[in-house]
Amino acid sequence: MSRCAYVALVGRPNVGKSTLLNRLVGQKISITASKPQTTRHNIVGISTRGDLQLLYVDTPGLHRHTPRALNRYLNRTASSVVGATDAVVQVVEALRWTEEDEAVADLLAAVPLEQRLLAANKVDTVADKRELLPYLAKLGEQGRYAEIVPLSARTGSNLEALEGALQQRAPERPFLYPVDQVSDVSQRFLAAELVREKLTRLLRQELPYSLTVEVERFEERDGLVRIGAVIWVERLGQKGIVIGQDGRLLREAGKQARLDLERALDKRVFLETWVKVREGWADDERALRSLGYGGGG
């Protein structure tokens, strides 16, 4: 009999949830960057091995302070999956425990203990591995998690221990996706996310939170995919920064996104991008819904 389980990956921003998802699935389906708010949607990554299918739900990082509509949307998006999965993995950074980690742990208190796991990520960055044991022991003494797994999403170290723990929690049920499918996201969504990832990495600290990407055109003909993407910013002054001197920054972001898309789609890609202004979109619930961020209270 086959086994199939939904697994939520939750945690504060920048603990490596998206990197972990990509590693578990074996393919890049969730964008990554060293800035908060990189992940803005729940993304399902599908891993099928033998008679086991694990459906990993990558969620936005949970914030304690939510002054903007976008922040509130991200928290709602992440919180919505916690009680609707077969297991929840809280991802933290090895040797660190912050107030935001504590807030995530409090949120998981409503989940049955047997379904709660902790992944202590980034163990490859710990210089003195002897520090790990007391750190893990202290977390274990709290009694908040059925299992605690130290691992490295970047290198893939000890991922089999996490997968084994999740297999034990997978109920007997038919697979929910075809065995060769690795994600539930559309190619149009992937294109928008890859453009946003490249801009997030190339832009200075504050700007990534003021932009979003909307794909207006996605056409395939004769082995060529033509994509037209609009980059929305909040203020006119931000438009010039995103474009860059003589258009260099926008061209570089487009080039990097196109190469990633050609690898992902295994087709030639022609990508056009435009930068437009939509004032205050990140503070406007209606604007968020029109740009694909869903609704909710």
DSSP letters spanning 237-252: HHHHHHH-GGGHHHHH
Q: Please report the pLDDT score of residue 235 as a whole number.
A: 87
CA angle 292, 86, 137 (to 5 degrees): 110
- Model's pTM, two decimal places? 0.73
Cα–Cα separations (whole angstroms), residue 74 to 8, 12, 17, 44, 296:
15, 11, 14, 16, 11
Q: Please report the pLDDT score of residue 122 as a whole number.
A: 95
Closest CA to 16 of 122, 135, 118, 116: 122
Residue 296 — pLDDT band, cuts 50, 70, 90?
very low
Instruction: Give me the mean pLDDT over the 266-270 stretch.
Output: 94
Which of residues 69 and 7 earns the better pLDDT score? Answer: 7
pLDDT > 80? residue 99: yes
Instruction: Report d(CA 122, CA 143) in Å as an integer.
Output: 22
Q: What is the mean pLDDT of the chain?
A: 84
The CATH homologous superfamily of the domain defined by 187-290? K homology (KH) domain (3.30.300.20)
DSSP assignment letter at 283? G
Cβ neighbours of residue 176 closer than 8 Å, sequence gap 6 or more: 4, 53, 55
pLDDT > 60? residue 77: no
Query: pLDDT tens for residues 107-142?
Result: 888 889 999 999 999 999 999 989 999 999 999 999
Instruction: Report d(CA 154, CA 124) in Å as an integer.
Output: 8
Cβ neighbours of residue 139 closer than 8 Å, sequence gap 6 or more: 97, 118, 120, 145, 148
Task: Write down the domain spans for the chain.
Answer: 3-168, 187-290
Q: Please report the pLDDT score of residue 270 as a whole number.
A: 96
Q: How far is C-alpha 77 from the geometric centre of its chain's CA atoms? A: 11
Instruction: Report d(CA 149, CA 159) in Å as an integer.
Output: 9
pLDDT > 90? residue 190: no
pLDDT > 70? residue 51: yes
Q: Please report the pLDDT score of residue 193 as a whole number.
A: 85
The hierarchical CATH code for the domain 3-168 is 3.40.50.300
